[in-house]
Structure 1
Amino acid sequence: MNYPYLVLILFCTLMTGKVYSQNWEAGISVGGSGYTGDLNPTGYLKHSGMGFGAHVKRNFDGYWALKLAVTGGKIAADDLKSKYEDQKNRGLNFSSPITEGSLQLEFNFFDFGIDWGQKRVTPFIYSGISYFGFNPKATYGGKTYELKIYGTEVDDSQFVAGNNTYKTTAFAVPVGAGVKFRLNNHLNVSADFGFRTAFTDYLDDVSMDYPVIDPNKNTFNGTRAALSDPTGYSNSKQTDVKIQRGDYRPRDTYFFSMITLSYVFRNKDCPF
């Protein structure tokens, strides 16, 4: 009897879990995107555009994985479509692309995999850090305007034409949950929903107050005035005090809801 051969088989059998637990995975995602902020304060699950993504993942075992992902989508809102009268009176609108790169730590509630005793279905949660870009635009009179250059909340005394009034990149913290299902030894499918708390309040170009007018400078006219206060709701030209424009919450949020198909690149079980 070939005892060394039997020992090798036994060793590979015992090590199967460790071998399979250390594998790489790559996938693509499609779904929806949305946002919550000054123009959509309560519609936490309201989608405003399509979402797409791709990722690579390292599965350390049946429970833990580390994922590097690129995800994009569109967010948008329109005061005139709101159910709240104050928002309709304000009359603002915006849309913006969102493109993020993120590093996420993922945890499966069940031991997920293809080995004996492992589960083929599991709920999971994830969190991490992301860095994203955005660029809010508004449409009035059939024309689209890049809002960041118009200083829609910058006082006359501080406004310089053409300057970017806020950064259009920021960090965010993703937190999400989902369910994944093993189709076969190499293919997984999952569905997840994840919020991103953004370290900016300008996803929608709205944050604090209408500009205060400086009678000696008065740049608050023409396109700038129309983009900041399209309905004249604030009567900003007749006041020298701050009038609320945003909801004063310090951060906007955005989200992705995704269906993902991924391929697992598994190591060989044994060297024979």
Structure 2
Amino acid sequence: MKHLFAHILTLLLAITLVATEASAQQFSKRKQYNSVGVSLNAMNYFGDIVPKPSIPSFRFAATRPNIGLSFTRRFAPRISARANFAYGRITGDDAKAADQNDPDARFRYNRNMNFRNDILELSAVGIFDLIENRNNYLRRPDLVPYVFAGVAVFHHNPKGLVGSDGPSSQGEYVALQPLGTEGQRVAGGGGTYNLTQFSIPFGGGVRYKINKQFDIALEIGWRKTFTDYLDDVSKNYTAAANLPTPLAQYFGRDITRKDQGIDFASFTSPSERRGKSNEKDWYIVTGIHVNYILAPRVKSPKFR
């Protein structure tokens, strides 16, 4: 699946670059225009705390909102560029995502991890329309499918929920990165992960012309990240000695299911698998975009 996404992204970027060079020369500056927009989206994540250990697997019940503001510049009959700032949340919970009766999911159910992560994202993408418009904005097509790809930087901060058996207040969300739950903060642990990361956004949508000033679009976009720690789960369990605080031990080893008779000391022994370290985490944003077109100022010709 990850190879398929990589091929799709490469194709989108190639199409955008070729089309930009060919069409920009035939599109006068008088026809170029800007627009501003808002978006209301649904946000999901693909990672270690999902029903199945695969990219397409996610819980619809874990969907959380995402909102965004954007600025778009139309450069050519098929080409636009968009800058977007968005805020949203992703969540995951082994107790709800993994079926204890499924042999393939029992490991994740027993692991009993949970998290939520608020994400701030700033992105820049190129948009390629599948239907071109060689006229001005007033005569743009009514319905236009499009694809996009680009680059983004995002800031995240995974947090875990303390249960009734935790070392701090029940119901409190605690930042997980400072705890070093996989022993990252001990000598030789290699340091913990960064909270500011890059991603590659890509996807597609369909845009509809409401009137001369407004467009509305339905869009879906994937974010290929380069971190496996959106959920604070990646590699193996570490020894208790590498988790110096009660909270680090709670989230790193001791999220127990004692009431179900699980030998948790054995389950979380050092070097036992905690996450799937060969896969990076993803998140997906699906929603509605409303854009307002800023009518370009047309300079009148000067006569002498």
Instruction: Give the alignment's TM-score, normalised by structure 2.
Output: 0.74
| Kept in 2: contact 1:52–1:73 (CA 8 A) | yes
Paired residues in the alignment total 250
| Kept in 2: contact 1:155–1:211 (CA 8 A) | no
For 2:248, the aligned partner's letter is R
Q: Distance in 2 between matches of 1:238 and 1:101?
A: 38
For 2:143, the aligned partner's letter is V
Equivalent of 1:205, from 222, 225, 232? Answer: 232
Q: Distance in 2 between matches of 1:189 and 1:86?
A: 44
Deviates more, 1:223-232 or 1:197-206: 223-232
Equivalent of 2:28, from 18, 26, 32? Answer: 18
Deviation at 1:168, TM superposition (A): 0.5
| Kept in 2: contact 1:156–1:220 (CA 8 A) | no
Q: Secondary structure at the match of 1:30?
A: strand
Alignment partner, residue 170 of structure 1:
197
Q: Secondary structure at the match of 1:235?
A: helix
Change beyond 3 A, Cα 1:155–1:262: closer
Equivalent of 1:144, from 138, 162, 173? Answer: 173
Deviation at 1:71, TM superposition (A): 1.2
Q: Distance in 1 between matches of 2:267 and 2:242?
A: 9
**2:114 counterpart of 1:93:** yes
Instruction: Give the alignment's TM-score, normalised by structure 1.
Output: 0.82
Q: Which has the higher strand share?
A: 1
Q: Which runs of 5+ in 2 are unaligned?
A: 1-26, 100-104, 164-170, 258-262
Q: Percent sequence identity over matched residues?
A: 26
Alignment partner, residue 43 of structure 1:
57
Please list the CA deviations of residues 217-261 of structure 1 after superposition, one character each: whole Å capped at 9, or x if unmatched.
Answer: 56456322211131276636985x511100123310011112011
Deviates more, 1:18-27 or 1:253-262: 18-27
**2:83 counterpart of 1:68:** yes
Q: Which has the higher helix share?
A: 2
| Kept in 1: contact 2:118–2:158 (CA 8 A) | yes
Alignment partner, residue 223 of structure 1:
247
| Kept in 1: contact 2:138–2:212 (CA 8 A) | no
Please list the CA deviations of residues 154-213 of structure 1 after superposition, one character each: whole Å capped at 9, or x if unmatched.
Answer: 1685389xxx82111100000111000111111111110001011111000011111134
Q: Which runs of 5+ in 1 are unaligned?
A: 1-16
Give runs of aligned pairs for residues 118-157 of structure 1, distance below 5 A: 118-141=140-163, 142-154=171-183, 157=186
| Kept in 1: contact 2:243–2:252 (CA 8 A) | no
| Kept in 2: contact 1:67–1:104 (CA 8 A) | yes
Larger Rg: 1
